[in-house]
Amino acid sequence: MTKIDLEQLIKTRRTISDFDATPIAAETVQALLETAIWVPNHRLTQPWRFEYYTGPAIAKVATAAFPEQSGKKYDKLNALPGTLLVINSIHEDAGVDGENTEATAALIQTFSLLAWAQNIGTAWKTPGYINKPEFKAALNVAENERVIAMVHLGTPSGEIKTGREREAAANRFTVISE
């Protein structure tokens, strides 16, 4: 891969909302994770674990999120071809816990880029319910763990919008030399 390829990958990756119904194979998801785990992780704590819900099991996530099993958000979640729960262990030391969360965020972004390079769309979601006790209990997330994100994934369906412009980094970049 060239520098231009990497720059294009980063600049063209989009959050995907619409997926076709075909799930991404678990082997593919695992292979992407095998590379994504190489992100920097101070102390090499590797605090993460992953649960990939697909097929009929996606209903477990939808029901955990929306126990009444109705509504537009329930229907949308239940119709996904797959979602990856990214779960972190909670560390007793606040500094280490913060580093672990930051490393996991880097992992999620790396996973999303790797997926995009294979024409797999992702949507990194952090809805308020993912760390409610009822949601965690329904999906066997331990008390000493937190769900960092749900990453919806599948083959993009429909139009992929172009990215919105970003403010130039130069506008937020300061050099301090003395």
pLDDT at 24 over 90: yes
With pLDDT > 70 as the criterion, what percentage of the chain qualifies?
98
Could you read off the pLDDT of 89-123 as tens digits, one per residue? 999 999 999 999 999 999 999 999 999 999 999 99
Q: Are strands 82-89 and 48-54 parallel, antiparallel or unpaired?
A: antiparallel
pLDDT of residue 92: 96
Q: Which of 89, 92, 65 is nearest to 76 (CA)?
A: 65
Whether residue 73 is contained in a domain is answered as yes
pLDDT at 2 over 80: no
The position carrying tokens 């980094």 is 169
Helix (H) or strand (E) holding 84: strand 82-89
Whether residue 144 is contained in a domain is answered as yes
Helix (H) or strand (E) holding 49: strand 48-54
> What is the mean predicted confidence (pLDDT) over 125-147?
96
Domain count for the chain: 1
How far is residue 89 CA from its own chain's centroid? 16
Structure tokens at 116: 């995009």
Determine the structural domain holding residue 118 and report its residue range.
12-171
CA atoms within 13 A on the CB side of 130: 19
pLDDT at 4 over 80: no
The position carrying tokens 């980063």 is 10
Q: Provide the b/e sequence for 132-149 (b: ≥16 CB within 10 Å).
A: eeebbeebebeeebbbbb
Here the CATH number for the domain that contains residue 24 is 3.40.109.10
Whether residue 148 is contained in a domain is answered as yes
pLDDT of residue 3: 62
Whether residue 104 is contained in a domain is answered as yes
Whether residue 178 is contained in a domain is answered as no
Contact 100, 45 (CB under 8 A): yes
Whether residue 62 is contained in a domain is answered as yes
